[in-house]
Structure 1
Amino acid sequence: MDRSIQIKAIASKPRMQILKLLAKPRRHFKHQWSADPVNFGVCMTLIAEALDIAQPTASRHLDILKQAGFITVRKHQKWSYCKRHDKNIQAFTTWLSKQLAS
């Protein structure tokens, strides 16, 4: 995994907010009707709405999070759904803690 991309991913307030929202998808996206937000993921459109940003801007943020390995994206019909990849996030935070302790 490219750590520089991961560092870039967490260096942005909107991207950190996305990760926080996706940590509790049922709480933040309970109004999603197209798929279960926990099991399937959260629609990109709803993430853009939650951040009050344009969908293309949200897509750029989500792409960086995907490149960092912090989220997975799956398409269903015409929508894309995002889910946190907690294992990768944990691996990064463990790595970062070790780097800062050295």
Structure 2
Amino acid sequence: MNRSIQIKALAGEPRMAIMRILADPQRHFAHQWSADPAQFGVCMTLIAEALGVAQPTASRHLELLRQAGFITVRKQQKWSYCKRNETAIQDFLAWLQQELSRDSGNTRKT
């Protein structure tokens, strides 16, 4: 996975908001009638409404999160449903922890 794409994906507040609301889809999207939000994912239209942005804007944010591997997108008829990819998220967090803990050997002593 391209880590720079993942870092870029998490660098925007709207994308972080998407990740937060998709963490508990049942709470935020229980009103979704077309499919169970926890099992199937959340309709992109409802995500746009939750963010208070136009659907094309939400789609751009969601596409970057998809490219980063943090969400999966499933198409059903004319709708697209998004769900967090918990495995990819945990992989990224483990990588980030390792990178932040790594001794580069170039640290300056004061």
Q: What TM-score do the two structures reach when normalised by structure 1? A: 0.99
CA distance in 2, matches of 1:5, 1:27: 29
CA shift for structure 1 position 25: 0.2
Letter in 2 for 1:6: Q
What corresponds to 1:44 in structure 2?
A: 44
Please list every run of 5 or more consecutive structure 1 residues that lacks an aligned counterpart in the other structure: none
Which SS does the other structure have where 1:39 is aligned? coil
Amino acid at match of 2:54: A
Q: Per-residue displacement from partner, 1:65-102 (whole Å, max 9, x unpaired)?
A: 00000000010011000000001000001100110111
RMSD across aligned positions (CA): 0.4
Query: What is the letter of the counterpart of residue 70 of structure 2?
Result: F
* Residues 3-42 of structure 1 mapped to structure 2, 5 A cutoff: 3-42=3-42
In the TM superposition, residue 6 of structure 1 has moved relative to its aligned partner by 0.1
Q: Within 2, Cα distance between the matches of 1:61 and 1:48?
A: 10
**What secondary structure sits across from 1:34 in the alignment?**
coil
Unaligned runs of 5+ in 2: 103-110
1:94 paired to 2:98: no
TM-fit CA distance, 1:50: 0.2
Q: Find the residue that maps to 2:83 and give its secondary structure.
A: strand
Equivalent pairs: percent with the same residue? 70
State the shift of 1:12 in Å: 0.6
CA distance in 2, matches of 1:73, 1:2: 19
Please list the CA deviations of residues 9-41 of structure 1 after superposition, one character each: whole Å capped at 9, or x if unmatched: 100100010001000000000000000001100
Measured in 2, the distance between the counterparts of 1:12 and 1:101 equals 24
- Deviation beyond 3 Å, 4+ runs, structure 1: none
Structure 1 counterpart SS, 2:14: helix
Partner residue, 1:70: 70
